[in-house]
Chain A
Amino acid sequence: MFVMDLSQLKKLDVSDLVVELEEISRKCRIDILKMVYRAQAGHPGGSLSEIDLLVALYCTQLRFRVDDPEWSDRDRFILSKGHASPGLYSILSKVGFIKEKDLLSYRELGGICQGHVDMKFTPGVDFSAGSLGMGLSFGLGCALAARLDNSTRNCYVMLGDGEIQEGSVWEAIMASRHHEVGNLKVILDCNRIQNDDFVNTQMRLFDIPKKWSSFGWEVKEIDGHNMNEILDGLNWLKNNNNLPSVLIANTVKGKGISFMENNPKFHGAAPNEEQYKSALIELGVDN
């Protein structure tokens, strides 16, 4: 089983770190593909768009103890787009919260990897998601709790761009600014596709950075697949401690598997056998 030694990663210089992280991402993409293919259900597109961000976050920023998942002073990570669970399960297995064989339980009765991430089932999962638009409010509660505890722990929330069509997300954006929670950090996986089609055909979001900054947040945009930009962006997020901040990551839905890229069909569909085999080859797996 492959479990990373995070302390070794932290000793690397940036260029070597980027190479390592990209390799971890590749392995996670293989996991995502295998989970969705095996279950013949699930959400590959959003898992592939978010995975570079998750890998960098877990490997370089988050404070946690794999042998004590409930450690009260851990940083929180809330995957609000909880359907993109294969991505999270994959990185949780890489850092050691769950075992590689647990990934096989994805969507299976009795398995710890539920279809949508669930804090009651999976060690390392901080929020039971699956219904969009809920994670930021929950994260605000976690951030306020950290403040009440006088703790330096941070609360990271990942949202999808389609998800911010939910009005209650904007209640949470407004409330987070009102309460000035500098320890609340959002990563927006802006992959431009939602369930039915491209975001722009369903409900246009227009200028997301401008909207968010008009609510008084700190805002930065990056390429969500460029590991150098991701590392810089996550450092920016971590060091913004006075106001809530959002890192808007422009990503490609289905990134890394050509026929899934920018293809709304693979928001929530599994590949067939032929597609699976060609995807494995693309990801460098020797059949």
Chain B
Amino acid sequence: MTELAASRDGYGKALLSMATDEKVIVLEADLGKSTKSCWFREKYPNRTISCGIGEQNMMLVAAGLASSGYRPFASTFAIFTERAFEQVRNGIARPNLPVHICGSHGGTHTGTDGSSAQSIEDIAIYRSLPNMIVMHPCDDNSTEQLTIQLLKQDSPSYTRTARNKTPRIYEINDSRLEIGKGVILREGGDIAIIACGVMVSKSIEAAELLNSIGYDVAVVDMHTIKPIDTDLLDKLSSRYKALITVEDHNIIGGLGGSVAEYLSQKSNTILRRIGVKDRFGESGQAEEMLKLLNISTNDIVDTVVEVISEVK
């Protein structure tokens, strides 16, 4: 049986793994228990900085630490990082300081808190900032591994993690995982789905269902949305007549937007974007939200069938 895990746990584990590097500093804004930075705080209180409920201050304190040679990791809910957007823009991205931001509870999948907590625009926002790396890994193990890789980056980053448990996709220390490189999780001859975050396991589920009715569908985990893996997009667009992106994010500006921008310059490949269609969510369980917003496994299946019939 597939094991379930939440990507936010991977962030918490990564911080613990990196603790041997004394330059690693963790910043919290009263949500350490949720983002899982609390595990680091428990063991390394002297290297954990509480910023209270004050995200704007937190981002710039992190910038000051980074300018002094430290490697700060600051986390809160994805939605609350956005309150400090201009601080991130002017204080972190512009001077290119290696501050690593983790926004947990991203997307509508976060569920019953309702639309105030369901960030559907974070990836678009951070992707538009020069110097920023933007990631949305799909499970705990890949989140852990990719977060640890951030230590070698000299640029700032934003990583979205999810609150709820989803099927674990990767083993620990999977050699395929590298910032900026998508991973083909499943080969297929008819069409490829490019997904990120919680929608990766949904896409695999859809591909398996499609297989049972005669469709051969590839699934790619595009955990890094910026820089997008253009080599892989080149390969996919030359191999397939159509590609489908799947994300728990507004279809404007996220993974689908990023892939569309790239393909529009050099490819005739048809692209269909599955995502939140420019609307806010509401309170509901994760699965209920995906259904409400037409981004559930069945929606992926239906779209694949439709697109394949169009391109035949």
Footprint of B on A, CB under 8 Å? 72, 118-120, 126-128, 130-131, 134, 137-146, 148-149, 168, 171-172, 174-175, 178-179
Identify which of A141, A149, A175 contacts B54 (C-beta below 8 A).
A175
Identify which of A72, A134, A179 contacts B69 (C-beta below 8 A).
A72
B195 at the interface (CB under 8 A from A): no
B68 touches A138 (CB 8 A): no
B187 at the interface (CB under 8 A from A): no
A145 touches B69 (CB 8 A): yes
Given contact pairs A141-B65, A175-B57, enumerate 15 new A-B contacts (beta carbons under 8 Å). A120-B94, A120-B96, A130-B90, A138-B60, A141-B60, A141-B63, A141-B72, A142-B64, A142-B67, A143-B64, A146-B68, A148-B25, A148-B47, A168-B87, A175-B54
A128 touches B64 (CB 8 A): no
Chain B residues, Cβ within 8 Å of A72:
68-69
Footprint of A on B, CB under 8 Å? 25, 47, 49-52, 54, 56-70, 72, 86-87, 90-91, 94-96
Chain B residues, Cβ within 8 Å of A120:
94-96
Chain A residue nearest in CB terms to B25: A148
B52 touches A174 (CB 8 A): yes
Say yes or no: A175-B91 contact (C-beta < 8 A), given A141-B65, A141-B67: no
Chain A residues, Cβ within 8 Å of B64:
137-145
Q: Give the 10 A-B residue pairs with the shortest CB-CB distance, closest first.
A: A141-B64, A145-B68, A137-B60, A171-B57, A171-B54, A168-B56, A141-B61, A138-B64, A142-B64, A141-B65
Chain A residue nearest in CB terms to B69: A72
Chain B residues, Cβ within 8 Å of A138:
60-61, 63-64, 67, 91
A145 touches B90 (CB 8 A): no
Chain B residues, Cβ within 8 Å of A118:
95
Residue contacts A-B, CB under 8 angstroms, 28 given: A72-B68, A119-B67, A119-B95, A127-B67, A128-B90, A128-B91, A128-B95, A131-B90, A131-B91, A134-B60, A137-B56, A137-B59, A137-B91, A138-B60, A139-B64, A140-B57, A141-B64, A141-B67, A141-B68, A144-B49, A144-B61, A144-B65, A145-B70, A172-B60, A175-B57, A175-B61, A178-B50, A179-B49
Q: How far is the CA of A126 from the CA of B70 in the complex (A)?
A: 15
Chain A residue nearest in CB terms to B51: A175
Chain B residues, Cβ within 8 Å of A126:
67
B70 touches A137 (CB 8 A): no
Chain B residues, Cβ within 8 Å of A141:
60-68, 72
Chain B residue nearest in CB terms to A135: B60
Q: How far is the CA of A174 from the CA of B69 in the complex (A)?
A: 24
B57 touches A145 (CB 8 A): no
Chain A residues, Cβ within 8 Å of B90:
128, 130-131, 134
Q: How far is the CA of A79 from the CA of B90 in the complex (A)?
A: 14
Chain A residue nearest in CB terms to B53: A171
Chain A residues, Cβ within 8 Å of B63:
137-138, 141
Q: How far is the CA of A130 from the CA of B89 in the complex (A)?
A: 12
Identify which of A134, A140, A148, A172 contacts B70 (C-beta below 8 A).
A148
B91 touches A140 (CB 8 A): no
